[in-house]
Amino acid sequence: MAAEKHEKHLLYNSLSILLKAVERQRTTVDLRNEASVFGIVEEADAFMNIVMRDCIFTDPRGDSFKYDMFFVQARNIRCVHIPPNIRIIPAIKEQLQQLKGPARELKDIKHNFRVERTQRKQREDLAAVNKILESRNKIDSESTERK
């Protein structure tokens, strides 16, 4: 549970959410050792660890190797190329919406006694304020009629 909270925190507070938007897209990941991996991003987590499939790994000397699956650890990533067909701001907003999930109905929430008492007191106070405002409006309208 704690790791899940930490991951959610990272997704909300870093650009790793953009990497989630790149999932199931073909892209290039540049590594710190001057190597690169070109393939389809299968999965990315909040820590920016990436699992890629159908990829080509190019080492620093320029030799290429084909892999069915490839795991890139976050600390080895220098740069992730965002494909040109992904619009960054809408992609981030969409991922945040998916992360947040559907809206809950407030009626389904069961409150404890303290919350219910506070809400009841707030409704009573609001009714009292409305009553005072109505009486003031009534007095003001009567005084304008006399003039």
Domain covering 1-100, topology: SH3 type barrels. (2.30.30)
> SS3 of 37, please?
strand
Residue 127 in this model has a pLDDT that exceeds 90: yes
In terms of Cα–Cα distance, which of 6, 65, 3 is closest to 37? 65
Residue appearing with tokens 């990315």: 44
In the structure encoding, which two tokens stand for residue 61, read together?
A: 């000397």
In terms of Cα–Cα distance, which of 29, 59, 33, 30 is closest to 41? 29
pLDDT digits (tens, 9 = 90+) for 28-82: 999 999 999 999 999 999 999 999 999 999 999 999 999 999 999 999 999 999 9
